[in-house]
Structure 1
Amino acid sequence: MPFGCPKHSRKHVFVAILGFGMGVGAWAQTPTPPLSPPSAAIDLTQPPLLVDASGVTSQGQNLGEPCRLQTPDHPVRLFDAIRDALCTDPKTRQAWAAVQVQAAQLGQARAAYWPKLDAALQFNRDHAASTVTGQPQFDSNVGSQFRTQALSLSWVLYDFGARTAAAHSAEQLLLASRYSLDDTLQTALLKTAKDYEAALAASAGLDAARDTARTAQESLGIARARVQQGVAAISDALQAQTAYAQAAADETHAKGTWQTAIGALAIDMGLDPEAAPLQLQPLPAAAGESSVAIGSLHAFLDDAKRINPKINAARAQHLAALAHAKAVRDAGLPSLHFTWKYSRNTQPVTGLGLPSFPADAQDNFVGIELDIPLFDGFDQDWKMREAQAQAREQGQALIDARRQVMHGVWSGFEGYKTATADLGSTRTVLAVAQQSLAAAQKRYQLGVTSILEVLHAQQALAKARQQQIQALTDWLVARLQLAYAVGSLGQSVETQGSVP
């Protein structure tokens, strides 16, 4: 229902635009976010772990290019390995780009609060000729050149909350993308951390294999000395030599396992696995011996419900779907628009049988338009049903995410308790096995036992060493897995010696 007021002065028109628009907007429109430029309203903070190799923040860094790293010449900490891996991982950068895409979509949703101003410029050349049959005095042949300038402004004053719901949906989708980025970072972090722990375990296994080979060589030396003294049969030396050969073969196998694990970690960090092998910072001798309480399962579950990115992302997706359903519903309601148009042209005025006369025409138009949707072939109804079904779908996805996280926390909690208990047991077994071997070698030197007791003690010690290394590895991985299930993995990595 537009109304016009042509040929007003431009000054009065602009005053009318500002006064009327501000007055109607303050009276009719529900509270909305401040009308500020989208680039200023949306502040995206770069994730702290997406940094370069020197640890400098990414300000001024081209985030479209992965980091170019070199093999470090110092022992690598777990945090260093994770930092380099996240810096070069394409999945983390892809997730960060998705956040930026969603931020741009939020800016588009907020742009609906601004008025729209358009300008049009035309340069025309016109030639018109007419011949009136039997009346040559009315014939005309006119050529002209003229230009047209026009400005038009439109502003949605009231729309029953459709823009607000659309902006809220975009905000929740941006929040969901941020949580998805957090989940991607933690997933990549967990993989790199597991590979780091596997490399540490392989290094410890190689050291244990070397110790076992050295122990077997010592036993072989004792057996040969007793054979030369004539107090032991040659079979003792042969059995000890067989045990030493087996220990040497185990050492070779352990070295291959270590090289495989180190290469996998180098690939995670974006390095060349064929370059000089990485040096890892060894774990403290007292790793895992802390008596810090594990905590209660309910505390971990409560923390997971609050901070786990999978749950938070699913919750934001559900809220975004609900807001979208409201925006679709409100889009079918009436909307109030303010319009203003101004145009000016220099098209000549002419008439039948008359010459053209230069002219300068201007037109101003101010109006309010109320759009009332009446019937669209049930298109809006089907859109509402689709949006409502999507909201229900996202609601079930939220329930599923909560269940999966709860299962992960329960499994991680029990696994961590078991790994902690196993670690203490294997330390006791290792200490007893070391004492048993020392006693067996002493007894054999004194001639009060056979070489078989020494070889059995060697095998028991080698097995105890492997069990202790495996238990320590399981404890480290279980600690990380529990932190990942809760959603606090980044905090646990920054403090490597703490319980998640």
Structure 2
Amino acid sequence: MTALALGFLGLVTAPGVGLAQEAQQHMSVSLEEAIARALKTSPQVAQAAGSVATTDAAKRSAFGAYLPNLTANANSSLASSQRLDPGTGVVFTAPSDTYSAGVSASWNVFTGGLRGANNRQAQARSNAAQAGLTAQRASAVLDVERAYYEVLRAGGLEDVANSRIERAKQNAEAAERRMTVGSATRSDVLRARYDLTSAMEALLSAQTQHMAAALSLGRLIGEDVPVDAQPLENQDEAPFALTEQALADEITARAPSVLAAEADLRAAEASVGAAKSTYLPTVRLSGGYDWFNDEPAFNGGRTSWSVRLGLSYPIFDGFVREERVVNARTQASVAQATLADTRRAVRSSVGTSLSQLKLASNRITLATESVEVAKEDLKVQQERYKLGATTILELLTSQENLVQAEINLVAFRFEYRISRAALVALAGRPL
């Protein structure tokens, strides 16, 4: 190989070696570890978990409305013994100190169904928040799987580029040997060198993609440095246990987005009941026990108690009740339409994902066959070129066909995995 070709090779392999050594210094994680760490660091998952905690607190508060309220109080006051009656202007003597304590309780006997409606609404919102958390977790898993597969894809492209470089070096050496004996032209050597530099450029591009993908994976799992992906143990995914129709029905019925829309509808329907409750009266029972004394002592003093049962009913409130009912019914109607649209959207997405899975699977089969055919063709062209029975152009074309077939095979394999991961994310659970 000439000095010029050696210079190109040194220029590219030096950064390549540096990147390879740098990649070895990076931490690497398995897919399971990456998913576990991503779920802990994802802001969206943390926000969804906070929504679950908030709605759970609201659910407890709604249940607490069925329980009585209990209040305790204690007071003391100090004043001069001589008092002035503002009405008469007469000065009189009165106890200077007073001490009191008491306890009171109240309970809503009847609220027109408001407590039940609020309880159903709080439960529905809690279910919606739980479904939202499941959806966010599935989305975070999908993001980290995409990043993980992108790292592996870039690594696969590096392997393809390295193989291409080795073949290009062999072609360049063969072209120079043939030119030395006079069976090849200067153009053959130049074309072989150009192919070698193109292979080196492809390696640099793959290494750059690998670094960018490793940085993206590191961010998702909470690291400030690039993170490499460990090779997958199983290259082929197991088939789904359900048929396509059964899978579509199952995901459409149990997808997190559908469950959240169903919970939103129940919450909206409960808000209608809460709005209608204002047309009924409210019955409230309350009572208290109080103690008074002129001395700071527990013995002696006076006590009193009271029990009250009251009823209130707003006869007219300026059509506020009617407005609340109309707004609640409108929200329920919108929630019903949203639920129907969500189900259609999920079923459509499932069909699209299954079609993409079929396409990726067929592409993998065809690409695998193409790689084998291209390898055989390249072997034939290499032998023919050594014997002088073909040109360098035909050899390079055969090699380019093999490179493209290998690149396609790498891409299609990870397209299949990403499409499958997207379908699992849509379902919100393993399939």
TM-score by length of 2: 0.86
Q: Distance in 2 between matches of 1:131 and 1:384?
A: 53
Change (3 A) 1:284 1:454: farther
Alpha-carbon deviations, 1:433-481, whole Å to 9, x = none? Answer: 0111111111222222222221111111111111111211211111112
What secondary structure, in the 3-state scheme, does the structure 1 residue paired with 2:277 have?
helix
Aligned to 1:380: 321
Aligned-pair CA distance for 1:140: 2.4
The answer to whether 1:125 aligns with 2:74 is no
Change (3 A) 1:139 1:256: closer
How many positions carry a matched residue from both structures? Answer: 402
Equivalent in 144, 149, 156 of residue 96 of structure 2: 144
Aligned to 1:226: 178
Q: Distance in 2 between matches of 1:88 and 1:456?
A: 48
The answer to whether 1:440 aligns with 2:381 is yes
Aligned to 1:308: 255
Aligned-pair CA distance for 1:207: 0.8
Change (3 A) 1:471 1:117: same
Aligned-pair CA distance for 1:141: 4.2
Aligned-pair CA distance for 1:75: 4.3
Aligned-pair CA distance for 1:132: 9.2
Aligned to 2:344: 403
Aligned-pair CA distance for 1:284: 5.0
Aligned to 1:317: 264
Change (3 A) 1:271 1:233: same
Mapped contact 1:132–1:139 kept (Cα < 8 A): no
Aligned to 1:259: 211
Following superposition of structure 1 onto structure 2, how do residues 184-333 of structure 1 map, counting pairs within 5 Å?
Answer: 184-273=136-225, 277-283=226-232, 286-287=235-236, 292=239, 296-333=243-280
What secondary structure, in the 3-state scheme, does the structure 1 residue paired with 2:65 have?
helix
Q: Which moved more, 1:437-446 or 1:331-340?
A: 331-340
Change (3 A) 1:344 1:284: closer
Change (3 A) 1:126 1:469: same
Aligned to 1:430: 371
Aligned to 1:341: 288
Calculate the aligned-residue CA RMSD, in Å: 2.5
Aligned to 2:49: 96
Mapped contact 2:291–2:304 kept (Cα < 8 A): yes
What secondary structure, in the 3-state scheme, does the structure 2 residue paired with 1:118 have?
strand
Following superposition of structure 1 onto structure 2, how do residues 467-486 of structure 1 map, counting pairs within 5 Å?
Answer: 467-486=408-427
Structure 1 runs of 4+ aligned residues shifted over 4 Å read 71-75
Change (3 A) 1:394 1:132: closer
Aligned to 1:494: none
Mapped contact 1:419–1:471 kept (Cα < 8 A): yes
What secondary structure, in the 3-state scheme, does the structure 2 residue paired with 1:113 have?
coil
Aligned-pair CA distance for 1:268: 1.3
Mapped contact 1:81–1:269 kept (Cα < 8 A): yes
Q: Distance in 1 between matches of 2:280 and 2:25?
A: 63
Mapped contact 1:129–1:142 kept (Cα < 8 A): no
Amino acid in the other structure paired with 2:385: Y
Aligned-pair CA distance for 1:103: 0.7
Aligned to 1:19: none
Following superposition of structure 1 onto structure 2, how do residues 29-40 of structure 1 map, counting pairs within 5 Å?
Answer: none
What secondary structure, in the 3-state scheme, does the structure 2 residue paired with 1:122 have?
strand
Aligned-pair CA distance for 1:381: 2.2
Amino acid in the other structure paired with 2:264: Q
Alpha-carbon deviations, 1:198-222, whole Å to 9, x = none? Answer: 1111110111011111111111122
Equivalent in 126, 129, 142 of residue 174 of structure 1: 126
Q: Distance in 1 between matches of 2:374 and 2:292?
A: 102
Aligned-pair CA distance for 1:314: 0.8
Identity of aligned residues (%): 26
Change (3 A) 1:450 1:294: farther
Amino acid in the other structure paired with 1:102: T
Consecutive unaligned residues in structure 2, runs of 5 or more: 1-23
Q: Which has the higher helix share?
A: 2
